[in-house]
Copies of this chain bind each other. A is one copy, B any other.
Amino acid sequence: IHHTCQWGTGERWGEHVGPAPTETGMSRLALSDADKSARDWFVSTTEALGCKVTIDAMGNIFAVRPGLRNDKPPTFVGSHLDTQPTGGRYDGILGVTAGIEMLKVLADNWVETEYPVGVVNWTNEEGARFPKSMVSSGVWAGDIPVEDAHSLREVHPGTATMASELKRIGYLGETPASYEATPMAAHFELHIEQGPLLEMANKKIGVVTGVQAYKWFTVNVKGRDTHTGTTDLKSRADALLTASKMILHSHRLATANTALASTGILNLKPGSTNTVPGQVSFSLDIRAPKDSTVATMTELVLRDFPRIAAGEDVDGSNLGCTSGLPLSVEIVEDFNSPATLFHSDCITSVHQSAHHILGPNSHNLIMDMTSGAGHDSVYASKRCPTSMIFVPCREGVSHNPREFCKEEDCALGAQVLLQSVVRFDRM
């Protein structure tokens, strides 16, 4: 893990006086120069371990180690090497490096698997640079058209596309990005939980049975640029004031519906202290365990945001302020990931492996759970048996430089991953 974190080293979080080189986060946006270095390392390392490496049209990198028989597709371990702009050292990276550790253990011990096994590094899982998470496993699964993915534009500064960046760093492969060109027998993924449940319950391994539903929207609010000193509150069409009301309202709706609502990006125009902003666009991320809850939240947002834009006092959202002139709002759905259930064969492999590794006290250390975050396993599960293994991370914090997973927990997760693959391969 830490060796690969030399590419895209992020903000320091540790308070140690010494150099403490591992106490930094990561900033390795998908298809950046740092990502290219990590990819080059992935390719040379897996080739040195006897793998055949294939790169597809989304830059997904598949490293395959032959089995005794090769007339069926490999059992894969997969995750991602890209990170958030101010992310941690474990999200995604643990899953890929644990896959490489698996390849090393098999090689060091001259293990021959029944069928081939592989490790895949999926491109832009985070959706942080190109704003669609898990987009390249989505293309592989046939859910997202490759043209849509290729034309995705980066969030900042907004000029490069996925296709132009894939080409630039030399990872626009010739193999079509599809489950037909690169079939999988199964997909296993080890990941930090990114939430607090395992730590709070004092568990070591989370057996992930599914992933909650989520949708991403872009909300564009259009008002009118005017002077802050000469325009009374009634004569304004303040796009930022209106966006603020919408953000608060989305949280109120989430609270009422036991869902999550989050805004992580907000851009405004023109951006001057003494001009009332005429344009704001912001991201809205809505999640809930059930598809029906996300559907209800979506309906409520689509119903209420235009009313708020028009100046209506939706459930007191105006907080008693003078309402100005009416504004308009446009709401675009960018991404939809319905609730996912993983495959019982894979879940069973993980269960058996975890119990075997954790020993006599294992029933106290293992927990079934649903993932709050999306993962490439969501799309993999549409085309092959899939499941995931979670390990605890400190205080449940992720997408933050302080993200931390103990060495011992990383190792336990990697052992469960290896055994799950071997068990599935035998099965």
A interface residue numbers (CB < 8 A to B): 84-86, 126-128, 131, 133, 155-156, 193-196, 212, 214, 216, 224-233, 235, 238, 240-241, 243-245, 247-249, 251-252, 254-255, 260, 262-266, 268-278, 283, 285, 287, 315-317, 319-322, 371-374, 396-401
Contacts and interface: CB of A to CB of B under 8 A. Distances in A.
A241 B252 contact: no
Secondary structure dominating the interface of A: loop
B400 A228 contact: no
Contacts of A254: 233
Given A241-B247, A399-B226, A272 B320 contact: no
Contacts of A287: 228-229
18 contacts: A84-B225, A86-B278, A127-B272, A127-B273, A128-B275, A133-B273, A155-B271, A214-B229, A227-B373, A230-B398, A238-B262, A244-B244, A248-B248, A255-B321, A264-B277, A274-B285, A274-B399, A278-B400
Given A235-B196, A319-B317, A271 B265 contact: yes
Given A126-B274, A241-B247, A86 B229 contact: no
Contacts of A214: 229
A230 B274 contact: no
Nearest to A335: B273
Contacts of A255: 233, 320-322
A31 B238 CA distance: 28
Contacts of A263: 240-241, 277
Given A127-B273, A232-B260, 12 more contacts: A86-B278, A225-B401, A229-B260, A229-B371, A229-B373, A233-B251, A238-B262, A241-B263, A249-B319, A252-B319, A266-B268, A317-B319
A248 B233 CA distance: 12
Contacts of A133: 273-274
B231 A241 contact: no
Which of A155, A194, A251, A285 has most chain B Cβ within 10 Å? A251
A372 B249 contact: no
A262 B274 contact: yes
Contact of A228 (B264, B317, B321): B264
A2 to B, nearest CB: 21
A229 B400 contact: no
B251 A264 contact: no
Contact of A251 (B131, B155, B212, B241): B241
A113 to B, nearest CB: 33
A283 to B, nearest CB: 4
Contacts of A230: 193-195, 371-373, 396, 398
A214 B397 CA distance: 42
A270 B240 contact: no
A320 to B, nearest CB: 6
A234 to B, nearest CB: 10
Given A240-B266, A266-B240, A320-B252, A226 B400 contact: yes
A61 B386 CA distance: 71
A79 to B, nearest CB: 16
The 3 closest A-B pairs by CB, nearest first: A195-B230, A230-B372, A228-B262
